[in-house]
Amino acid sequence: MGRKKGFNEGKIRIIVATLAANPDGMWLRRISRETGYSPATVAHYLETVLAPLIEDVSLGSGGKPLLRVVRLKQAVLERLQSGQDIRQIMRLIKMFSRVE
């Protein structure tokens, strides 16, 4: 049968919950360690489906960064703390990105 196409909603929830628990930001490898997912999986989710929700600071010049610190945008943190579901937040941010 195989796996379903698209992104795993459970992985998205776990990555977002990990980032929400650390509002100052985290290294990519630390996110990987705390979630139990490989660094490649975490990086893929952050670069694709979670890109509108995060602020990404990469240190180092050239192709591969020396250090990558990721955190949730302040608006996303506030909405999560007010009790909104991650699906609602993602839907809202997708609408804003389409308008731009």
pLDDT of residue 100: 54
Please report, in tens digits, the pLDDT of each residue of the chain (100 residues total): 677 787 888 898 899 999 999 999 999 999 999 999 999 999 999 998 888 889 988 777 777 777 889 999 998 888 888 888 888 887 777 776 665 5
pLDDT at 20 (0 to 100): 92
For the chain, list the domains and their CATH numbers: 9-99 (1.10.10.10)
pTM, entire model: 0.81
Predicted local confidence at residue 1, as pLDDT: 67
Cα dihedral across residues 68, 63, 11, 99: positive or negative: positive
Handedness of CA 56, 59, 65, 66 (dihedral sign): negative
CA distance 86 to 99: 20
